[in-house]
Amino acid sequence: MSDERTPPSPAPRPPEGFETPLHVGQLNLPAAEAFREAFDGIFDRRFFANHGPLEQRLDRELASLFGVRNAVSVVNATAALMLVLRALDLDGEVIVPSFTFPATVQAVVWAGLRPVFCDIDPQTQTLTAARVAPKIGPATAAVLGVHIWGRGCDPLELEALTASRGVKLVFDAAHAVGATFRGRRFGGFGNAEVFSFHATKILNGAEGGCITTDDDDLAARLRTMRSFHDTDERVPGLLRLNAKISEAQAAMTLLGLRSLDSLIEQNRHRYELYRSGIDGTPGIHFLDYAAGETSNHQFIVLSVSPAELGLSRDELLDLLQAKNVLARRYFFPGVHRTPPFCDEGMAELPITDHLCQTLVQLPSGQAVTDADVKRVCAIIRWAATPEGRMAARA
């Protein structure tokens, strides 16, 4: 009798990578014909800056989008934060998360204020009133909350807290264009909110930003401070900055507004495709969005559990990048761990530190096809196999 044995199953073949890099940044672009038409109009008018017709139209349309009395467009969101903090005439400390882009915290310093870092909620990854309250002291001038990933802080709890303690409330809403809280779009919460129209955001102005507020006096101050060019609304005696938005930026942003709803729906589709493609992979967990709310799904964010996956977040990143998937870690290592903020002692922020070691952002946006998403999912599923783990550590 022959000694017949079942041959071992062949090891799964590694998924193919990408010939050209697949970037995280969205770069949602308008139709070329619409772009040319908009810029031909700028050239015909020969009006390039200093509060031209496109900037004025953009401010009106943004106010309508966000459901506020005032939208004040500026050159970028960092300048917007600097301006609003200065326009509120603050002095002292600003409570702010470390889990944010460095510009959030550096804008506090540029405005002549002192940042006080606060840890965040592990589920929403944002400030909460319960975490902020113990940080408020005699020197506290304001709280600066940050909406991230297309979802936001609980603004109503923070409004109630800051009102009771007599401090201002501002939101960095760079990630929150089109997102809602209890059915209401972000833009009208706190004293002011700041949005970004950077090229990688869902609303792409190539660069740009705006401040939204229902405070007419604050808006008048901001319109004066954003430019050295006089307007009918000029408030005398204010320190001013060359932070006005150009007509070119306004044109790009207006074109983006035309397709914002469609872009949000496309983002949602990619998010669902990623989720279904990776669902059940041990050690991979997606950020949940608040039930019943609208998100712009601007970012595809997942967390890695090394104990379940068998790989660290950074090992998974190395594997993805070897396949030309330029996934990124956010907001590593945390602003509190970077100079100059770490020079005088490190704030203890365990939740922030944990998230900075475990989160991954995957590519999304207009240039990322369904086939691209499926291939990225296949690479991540393969990473959870013995062969994938071995390749990641090779």
The mean per-residue pLDDT over the stretch 127-135 comes to 98
Q: Which of 164, 166, 163, 118 is nearest to 145 (CA)?
A: 118
Name the percent of the chain lying above pLDDT 70: 96
Helix 370-383 / helix 260-278 crossing angle, nearest 10 deg: 30
Domain regions of the chain by residue span? 32-258, 260-393
Residue 392, pLDDT score: 86
Secondary structure letter of residue 151 according to DSSP: B
- The answer to whether 135 is a known catalytic residue is no
4: amino acid identity, one letter: E
| pLDDT band at residue 1 using 50, 70 and 90 as cut-offs | very low
**Could you say which of 168, 201, 244, 323 is catalytic?**
201
What pLDDT is attached to residue 347? Answer: 86
pTM value? 0.94
CB 104 within 8 A of CB 94: no
Q: Does domain 260-393 have CATH number 3.30.9.10?
A: no
Rg, C-alpha atoms of the chain: 23
Under the phi-then-psi rule, with left for phi > 0, alpha for psi from -120 to 50, and beta for the rest, what region is 271?
A: alpha
**Which CATH architecture is the domain 32-258 placed in?**
3-Layer(aba) Sandwich (3.40)
At residue 68, φ and ψ (nearest 5 deg) are: -125, 170
97-119 burial code (b ≥16 CB/10 A, e <16) = bbbbbebbbbbbebbebebbbbb
CA distance 177 to 196: 8
Which two three-digit tokens encode residue 275?
């989720």
Assess whether pLDDT exceeds 60 at residue 107: yes
* pLDDT band of 394, cuts 50, 70, 90: confident
Closest by Cα among 394, 381, 390, 328 to 359: 328
Backbone phi, psi, residue 13, to 5°:
-75, 140
What is the average pLDDT value for the chain, to the nearest integer? Answer: 93
Beta bridge partners of 184: 181
Model confidence band, residue 143 (pLDDT cutoffs 50, 70, 90): very high
pLDDT surpasses 80 at 228? yes
Query: CA of 111: how far to CAs of 100, 106, 107, 147, 280, in Å?
Result: 18, 9, 6, 21, 46
For position 11, what pLDDT does the model report?
Answer: 52
The predicted model gives 121-139 an average pLDDT of: 97
Q: What is the pLDDT of residues 254-303, one digit of tens each?
A: 999 999 999 999 999 999 999 999 999 999 999 888 788 999 998 999 99
The owner of tokens 């970004």 is: 196
Whether residue 203 has pLDDT greater than 70: yes
Residues 326 and 22 sit within 8 Å (Cβ to Cβ):
yes
Whether pLDDT at 4 is above 80: no
Contact 310, 284 (CB under 8 A): no
Q: Write down the H helix ranges in 3-151.
A: 32-45, 53-66, 77-87, 102-110, 129-132
Percent of all residues in the chain with a pLDDT value above 90, rounded to a whole number: 85
Compute CA 65 distance to the chain's CA centroid, rounded to the nearest angstrom.
18
Report d(CA 293, CA 296) in Å as an integer.
10
- The model's pLDDT over 358-381, given as tens digits with 9 standing for 90+, comes to 999 999 999 999 999 999 999 999
When pLDDT is averaged across residues 308-323 and rounded to a whole number, the result is 96
The pairing of beta strand 284-286 with beta strand 184-185? unpaired
The DSSP 8-state label assigned to residue 328 in this structure reads B
Residues 6+ apart with CB under 8 A from 295: 149, 150, 151, 179, 268, 289
DSSP helix/strand/coil, 194: strand
pLDDT of res. 32: 93
- Find the mean pLDDT for residues 196-204: 95
Give whole-number Cα distances, 357 to 4, 299, 384, in Å. Answer: 50, 18, 18
Q: What's the N-to-C CA distance of the chain in angstroms?
A: 43
Q: How confident is the model at residue 213 (pLDDT cuts 50, 70, 90)?
A: very high
Note the pLDDT tens digit of each residue in 330-362.
999 999 999 999 987 788 999 999 999 999 999
Cβ neighbours of 233 (radius 10 Å): 12
